[in-house]
């Protein structure tokens, strides 16, 4: 169904408004100041002070039976229990059953900073990769409606190297503090040795320093090169003769290759960087869960940039129909996120297998407010407010929900990492806010600058007319 009138399609060249530059720079400056304050106070408020460690040890010292800690030998359990039983005793009757072991230890003060870089780097890397996946999916699906907004995700994907470098920096500097398995790797223990861990030894073929550094580097480099190729083909198409579909067909082939590769390998990145924080734990849908979390965030960010560009007088061919469809994607994948979240939780809760339970034990019993807040902000709020058709077209509300989802899904990644690294007692503080604001400001500045490098309208795309006349039909 069309609009019933002619729509002129012409190229637009974006110039970053001074107020947008000031906003992004101010956000970075405030973020750096808050991060600096957080760093300055680390010495006096170590993430794991002596008292905090004692509290954690008391809460987690009770691994009552040798079979409850997936793969640890009886000797390892007895050693741990003997060290703490006299002072703290056993704690067994938790809501999830006997507590699995959390080996509380005092972390270097800077671990909190590196953990924040791990969270921020992973979050913004995945958002940038999801923007690339959005571009590829539109080509593979032969979608026409999104052609008018394709330059936004193309600009977002150019950010991929920045968070990846930060992420790898955190891993290189602090991997033995962030990952229990990396510390264990350096002990070189064998069967029969005190402290030998059968589970970590069994996973060592995948969970090792070489894999952690090499595999993500190779994969991200390949993904990024494919993204650059798609962006280059899109730019060449603008200079081609009207009606020339050769660049479009090449884009479909490259997109299909990327989509298959990305679909089969993205979980590896999630397993290495995030799931291995809780190295004894595993979930068959954790990769999908993290992808969906950042996928819906990337769609929300696309919507924010589109609404902003419309407000500034750009994207003349973009109508409420396009914004409505972005709202529908936000709504749909919010539901899918909740489905995957609930599926993972219920399967582990119902099976009641000790080596699976402890991931949720610490997060539900020691971070209950975060646990419930995660569900409310990531599902209940966007679901209820985007349920109505009019809400998806009311831009102020859509922007508010999109910002809420960006913050909430950042918390989702934080919630995956911090309890596993530090145990009980951590909360979002000045440093967490500062690191997020720094990266968010840099991301905004980077994407707005990238938008100036290409025309905003893919004028020679074969589906640009269809996109300009897009109508949802209801």
The verdict on 71 and 208 lying in the same domain is no
Regarding whether 314 and 268 lie in a shared domain, the answer is: yes
DSSP per-residue string spanning 349-402? HHH--HHHHHHHHHHHHSSHHHHHHHHIIIIIHHHHHSSSHHHHH-HHHHHHHH
The answer as to whether 120 is a domain residue is yes
Least confident window among 80-84, 211-215, 318-322, 418-422: 80-84
Domain boundary at 91, 106, 121, which?
106
Between 354-365 and 368-375, two packed helices, what is the crossing angle to 10 degrees? 90
Question: Residue 95 pLDDT more than 60?
Answer: no
Residues 136 and 195 in one domain: yes
* Cβ–Cβ under 8 Å, residues 159 and 222: no
Q: Which residue's structure tokens are 């913004």?
A: 124
Residues 219 and 140 in one domain: yes
Buried-state track 349-387, b at ≥16 Cβ within 10 A, e below 16: eeeeebbbbbbbbbbbebbeebbeebbebbbebbeebbe
Give a yes or no: residue 6 inside a domain.
Answer: no
- Condensed to tens digits (0 to 9), the pLDDT of residues 223-241 reads 999 999 999 999 999 999 8
| Amino acid 352: pLDDT | 79
Residue-wise pLDDT tens digits, 156-212: 999 999 999 999 999 999 999 999 999 999 888 989 888 898 889 999 999 999 999
Which among 452, 450, 315, 466 is positioned nearest to 11, based on CA atoms? 315
Q: Specify the pLDDT at position 107.
A: 83
Q: Which residue has the higher pLDDT, 81 or 130?
A: 130
Q: What is the pLDDT of residue 44?
A: 46
pLDDT score of 123 more than 90? yes
Asked if residue 4 belongs to a domain, the reply is no
Number of other residues whose CB lies within 10 A of the CB of residue 4: 7
Lowest mean pLDDT among 60-69, 281-290, 292-301, 413-422: 60-69
Question: What is the band of 22 on the pLDDT scale with cuts at 50, 70, 90?
Answer: very high
Given 106, 133, 148, the domain boundary residue is 106
Do 146 and 202 lie in one domain? The reply is: yes
Question: 244 and 136 share a domain?
Answer: yes
pLDDT value of position 76 = 37
Identify the residue with better confidence: 72 or 285: 285
Give the integer Cα–Cα distance in Å for 419 and 20.
Answer: 36
Residues 196 and 96 in one domain: no
Shared domain check, 133 and 98: no
Q: pLDDT grade, residue 105 (50/70/90)?
A: low
* pLDDT above 80 (res 282): yes
Mean per-residue pLDDT of the chain: 87
Burial of residue 347, with CB atoms counted within 10 A of its CB: 0-12 exposed, 13-18 middle, 19 or more buried: middle
Residue 97 has pLDDT above 60, yes or no: no
Give the model's pLDDT for residue 73: 38
pLDDT band at 81, cuts 50/70/90? very low
**Domain with 93 in it:** 55-106
Are 228 and 97 contained in the same domain? no
pLDDT over threshold 50, residue 386: yes
Chain CA centroid to CA 294, Å: 5
In-domain check, residue 387: yes
Pick the closest to residue 120 from 162, 163, 157 (CA basis): 163
**Pick from 106, 127, 148: which residue ends a domain?**
106
Q: Domain check: are 44 and 70 in the same one? A: no
| pLDDT surpasses 80 at 340 | yes
Q: Are 38 and 61 part of one and the same domain?
A: no
Buried b (16+ CB within 10 A) or exposed e, 147-160: bbbbbbbbbbbbbb
Residue 441 forms part of a structural domain? yes
Provide the Cα torsion 2, 241, 233, 314; round to 10°.
Answer: -50
Q: Burial-class residue 134 by CB neighbours within 10 Å (0-12, 13-18, 19+).
A: buried
Q: Report the pLDDT value the prediction gives residue 45, as an integer from 0 to 100.
A: 41
Query: pLDDT exceeding 90 applies to what percent of the chain?
Result: 73
Q: How many domains does the chain have?
A: 2
Give the pLDDT confidence of 44-76 residue by residue, as tens digits: 444 443 344 444 434 433 333 333 444 443 343
- Residue identified by tokens 């059968």 is 198
- The answer to whether residue 428 scores a pLDDT higher than 90 is yes
* Close Cβ partners of 86 (under 8 Å, ≥ 6 residues apart): none
What is the C-alpha to C-alpha distance for residues 305 and 315, in angstroms, rounded to an integer?
Answer: 11
131 assigned to some structural domain: yes
CA gap 272, 80 in Å, rounded:
27
Confidence of residue 106 (pLDDT cuts 50, 70, 90): confident
Hey, which residues does 35 pair with through a beta bridge? none
Q: Is residue 9 part of a domain?
A: no
Inside any domain, residue 213 = yes
Per-residue DSSP letter, 197 = B
207-211, 256-260, 282-286: lowest mean pLDDT where?
282-286
One domain, residues 43 and 100: no
- Report yes or no on whether pTM surpasses 0.75: yes
């Amino acid at each position: 169904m069309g609009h019933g009138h002619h729509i002129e399609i012409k190229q637009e060249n974006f110039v970053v408004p001074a107020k947008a530059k000031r906003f992004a720079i101010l956000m970075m400056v405030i973020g750096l100041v808050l991060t600096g304050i957080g760093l300055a106070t680390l010495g006096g408020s170590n993430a794991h002070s002596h008292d905090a460690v004692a509290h954690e040890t008391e809460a987690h010292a009770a691994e009552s039976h040798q079979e409850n800690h997936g793969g640890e030998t009886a000797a390892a359990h007895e050693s741990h229990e003997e060290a703490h039983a006299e002072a703290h005793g056993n704690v067994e009757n938790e809501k999830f059953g006997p507590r699995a072991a959390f080996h509380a230890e005092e972390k270097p003060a800077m671990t909190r900073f590196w953990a924040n870089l791990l969270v921020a780097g992973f979050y913004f890397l995945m958002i940038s990769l999801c923007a690339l996946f959005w571009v590829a999916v539109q080509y593979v699906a032969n979608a026409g409606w999104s052609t008018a907004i394709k330059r936004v995700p193309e600009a977002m994907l150019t950010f991929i190297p920045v968070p990846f470098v930060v992420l790898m920096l955190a891993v290189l500097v602090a991997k033995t503090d962030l990952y229990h398995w990396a510390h264990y790797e350096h002990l070189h223990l064998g069967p029969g040795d005190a402290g030998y861990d059968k589970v970590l030894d069994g996973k060592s073929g995948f969970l090792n320093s070489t894999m952690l550094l090499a595999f993500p580097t190779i994969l991200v480099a390949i993904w990024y090169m494919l993204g650059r190729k798609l962006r280059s083909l899109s730019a060449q198409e603008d200079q081609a003769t009207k009606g020339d579909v050769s660049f479009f067909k090449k884009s479909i082939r490259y997109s299909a290759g990327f989509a298959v590769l990305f679909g089969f390998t993205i979980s590896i990145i999630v397993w290495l960087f995030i799931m291995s924080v809780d190295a004894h734990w595993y979930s068959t849908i954790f990769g999908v869960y993290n992808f969906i979390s950042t996928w819906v965030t990337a769609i929300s960010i696309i919507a924010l940039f589109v609404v902003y560009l419309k407000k500034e007088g750009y994207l003349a061919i973009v109508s409420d129909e396009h914004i409505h469809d972005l709202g529908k994607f936000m709504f749909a994948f919010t539901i899918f996120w909740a489905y995957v979240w609930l599926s993972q939780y219920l399967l582990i809760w119902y099976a009641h297998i000790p080596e699976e339970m402890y991931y949720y034990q610490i997060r539900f019993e020691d971070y209950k407010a975060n646990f419930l807040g995660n569900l409310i902000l990531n599902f209940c709020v966007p679901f209820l407010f985007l349920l109505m058709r009019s809400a998806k077209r009311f831009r102020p509300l859509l922007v508010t929900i999109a910002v809420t989802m960006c913050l909430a899904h950042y918390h989702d990644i934080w919630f995956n990492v911090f309890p596993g690294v530090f145990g009980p007692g951590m909360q979002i503080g000045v440093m967490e806010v500062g690191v997020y604001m720094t990266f968010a400001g840099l991301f905004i500045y980077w994407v707005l600058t990238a938008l100036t490098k290409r025309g905003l309208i893919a004028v020679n795309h074969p589906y640009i007319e269809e996109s300009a006349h897009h109508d949802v039909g209801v």
